[in-house]
Amino acid sequence: MMKQLSNFRLAVIIFLLSLLAGAPAVAAVPGMPGAGTDIVDKSVEIEARYLYYDKQADLYHAQGGVVIRQKGMELKADKAVLNQATNEFEAWGDVLLRDKTDYIACRYLKFNYKDQIGSIKDGRIFIKEKNYYITGEHIEKLGPNEYDVENATLTTCDADRAAWLIRSRKVHVKEGGYGVVDDAVFAVKNVPILYLPKGIFPINTKRQTGFLLPGIGYSDKDGVIVKGAFFWAINRSNDLTLYPEYYSERGIKFGGEYRYVINERAEGDIRASFISDKLVDDHPEDYQDADKARWSFGAHHFQTLKIGTTLKTDINLVSDNEFLEDFPDTFSGSFIDELDNVDSKTETYLRSLAIASQSWEHYHVAAAGRYYQSLVRKNDDETLQLLPEITISALNRPVFDADWLFWRMDTDYAHFWRREGETGHRFDIHPQINMPLKFGALEVIPYFELRETWYDLSDRMNGQSDGSESRATMAAGVELKSVTEKVYTCDWWGMDRMLHILEPMLAYRYVPDVDQDDLPDFDQLDYLPEESNVTWGLVSRLVGRYPKSANIDQYDYHEWLKFQIGQAYSFIDVADGYRFMEDDQHASNFFSQLEVRSYGGGLYMKLENRFDPYNNANELMTALFSTSDQRGDFISLEYRYERDETELCTGVARLPITTWLDIYGSIRYSIADSHIWETIYGFNYHPQCWALDFSVDEERDPYDLSFRFMLSLNGLGGLGSGD
């Protein structure tokens, strides 16, 4: 309601101040009635059957079809009087004040533009921004930011018989604070549904302390679910949201999220939850690795220092392996999405990260710590942690200012730690020298690399050092790259040009065989396979040009198609475990990928294939197709096949049946197991001023049936939720 009344205040003030700017520039003879149109100044125009100025009383009178226009605003009334002596403006009859798309309609309007007080009788206010309709038998403006409304109604429905509205005997509004309503009634089709003797609501457009709408749901496993939230706006830079959640089969889960902003370069949030879970005691066979006291903790901080250093922290921890499966929205919609999308059904680790980095024109330095929490093991005693890792990179720099010879170097220090098992320090230095050569459209880049790696190892089981190890190796190779382009004139789907780009690539790399049997197995850097292989690839692109205007040389560019193919061939009988899986296999899998994306995003298709030439079988196949239109139709189909692992099909669809009804659904089907993993289906009924969303989620492994319900009133928010 504050929004509407504020617009009313601004509209009237702006209008009257502009009106006074022209003062008594009327054409009629003072004191005598007249008819016609007067231009008060260049921006204000007054129209009336009778228009005169009473000089002695300093009054302007307009009567009969009064129309006053000013900068997009228009006031219509049967009668209007402007009293310059008292700084008041009055209008009677069918008063209608329009300001672009908003309006105030009333029987009587009075306003003192100096004291900013006034009143409206039998008023109706409409604000287009959120389609608000407010009526009041008597709307009193008590000061610059304070109002009283008697016998008020509020709705966002266009129909004369509103689908819903709120009636109140009295509303007191004070901008910057709260609104107080007396005897409020929520009605559906004029039938009272809910009564509130007195209520308080925030009317400031800024963040306000208060309770958020509760959520209601049901799940076979959790029982009845009721979710609430209380928001505390501590100050402009800090706020706290508390999330009490009731699960009839589990108990009460307490949660909270604290958000802060230090300055324009530093911000973050902290989120935590706790529940004493009755299901852990009732079904110990399902929670062998969990205690009754279950919790989650997350923290995120991002900061850029004045010297350019970037600091980032993402901490994500849970009490047990099943926590994310039972409460999958623990980190959803928060900072964790910036680091990883955690899926409790497929992920084996929950990752935490702290990193500080600094970049210059030719150098980059980063210090990081990574902590991994296993979602499979009972504890993390054997989980390898990286605490810390420091990398220093020197980017391509000319050797002795030569423009044909360049060097670069990567240096890395890492400390690997765990409670049980081998730990240690690793130092790795990796310089490279390269010489790019141009032969027309062909670029040839020979290079030579050295690599030295040192280890200081220890065994946590006995606390003794296992000594040091080292490895020295080198690599040499050459890359051949080229880019060819051809432009075609066309007149397709708004394009005037089509650019075809071909990017062929051929590379050879040699790495000698070195003894690595005594090295630890911390990560991929600890084993560098012998190499003597050729890699080839080809990328093809189609890019369209779209003129923005017929008279101006401005264009949009869109990549319609991208196609990639490639393969590697080894001249030695050594498997690297990545491209060459067995010692006697010289050719890697044949890789191909196709992406097609329409201009405007209505159609998208992606196909990927990895073909094993030795077994004459596909190692990996994926296909994704999605389409959407302006009406709101959406279909997505995805197929994924991994040999000896999974064959899965996923479908998602949303279909508007009418302008007020959508149906939607999704399904995950395992072709390999002939088993449906999950189905979701529901509808969204959304007439003009309210919406009802209902869906059913059925998981099959393990089985769980849940319902989701959401009722929302346009302009007021929503009620209902589920798991």
pLDDT one-digit tens code per residue, 497-527: 999 999 999 999 999 999 998 899 899 899 9
The mean pLDDT value for 529-551 works out to 91
Of 173, 226, 166, 174, give the one whose Cα is nearest residue 196.
166
Asked if pLDDT for residue 44 goes beyond 80, the answer is no
Confidence of residue 41 (pLDDT cuts 50, 70, 90): very low
Q: pLDDT: is 125 or 49 the higher one? A: 49
Least confident of 54-68, 337-351, 449-463, 625-639: 337-351
How far apart CA 219 and CA 723 sit, in angstroms, is 6
Asked if pLDDT for residue 166 goes beyond 60, the answer is yes
Instruction: Decide: 275 and 250 in contact? Cβ < 8 Å.
Output: yes
**101 C-beta neighbours (distance < 10 Å), count:** 9
Instruction: Decide: 27 and 8 in contact? Cβ < 8 Å.
Output: no
* DSSP secondary structure of 245-265: EEETTTEEEEEEEEEEEEETT
Confidence of residue 6 (pLDDT cuts 50, 70, 90): very low
Confidence of residue 212 (pLDDT cuts 50, 70, 90): low
Q: pLDDT: is 14 or 268 the higher one? A: 268
Distance in angstroms between the alpha carbons of the first and the last residue of the chain? 33
Q: Is 244 helix (H, G, I), strand (E, B) or coil?
A: strand
Q: Is 57 helix (H, G, I), strand (E, B) or coil?
A: coil
Instruction: Decide: 344 and 318 in contact? Cβ < 8 Å.
Output: no
Matching residue, tokens 């990193």: 355
What pLDDT, on a 0 to 100 scale, did the predictor assign at position 29? 30
What pLDDT, on a 0 to 100 scale, did the predictor assign at position 19? 36
Least confident of 116-130, 170-184, 408-422: 170-184
Amino acid found at 668: R
Percent helix, strand, coil in the chain, to 5, is 5, 65, 30
Instruction: Decide: 132 and 3 in contact? Cβ < 8 Å.
Output: yes
Look up the CATH superfamily of 2-206: Lipopolysaccharide (LPS) transport protein A like domain (2.60.450.10)
How far apart CA 37 and CA 50 sit, in angstroms, is 10
Confidence of residue 376 (pLDDT cuts 50, 70, 90): confident
Asked if pLDDT for residue 10 goes beyond 70, the answer is no
H or E element at residue 16: helix 2-20
Write the pLDDT tens digit of every residue in 388-400: 999 999 998 999 8
HSE of 25, CA atoms in CB hemisphere, 13 A: 14
The mean pLDDT value for 699-711 works out to 79
Q: What is the mean pLDDT of the chain?
A: 83
What pLDDT, on a 0 to 100 scale, did the predictor assign at position 411? 97
**700 C-beta neighbours (distance < 10 Å), count:** 14
What pLDDT, on a 0 to 100 scale, did the predictor assign at position 23? 31
β-strand partners of 438:
443
Rg, Å, the chain Cα set = 36
Confidence of residue 461 (pLDDT cuts 50, 70, 90): low
In 571-702, at which residue ranges do the beta strands (DSSP E only) sit? 590-597, 603-612, 617-628, 634-642, 646-658, 661-670, 675-685, 690-700
Chain centroid, CA 258 distance in Å: 19
β-strand partners of 549:
none
Asked if pLDDT for residue 13 goes beyond 60, the answer is no
Confidence of residue 54 (pLDDT cuts 50, 70, 90): confident
The mean pLDDT value for 619-638 works out to 94
Confidence of residue 22 (pLDDT cuts 50, 70, 90): very low
Map out the domains of the chain as residue ranges: 2-206, 629-723
How far apart CA 264 and CA 262 sit, in angstroms, is 7
How far apart CA 326 and CA 344 sit, in angstroms, is 9
What pLDDT, on a 0 to 100 scale, did the predictor assign at position 707? 83
CB burial class (10 A; 0-12, 13-18, 19+) of residue 211?
Answer: exposed
Write the pLDDT tens digit of every residue in 238-271: 999 998 999 999 999 999 999 999 998 999 999 9
What pLDDT, on a 0 to 100 scale, did the predictor assign at position 4? 34
Least confident of 13-22, 79-88, 352-361, 472-481: 13-22
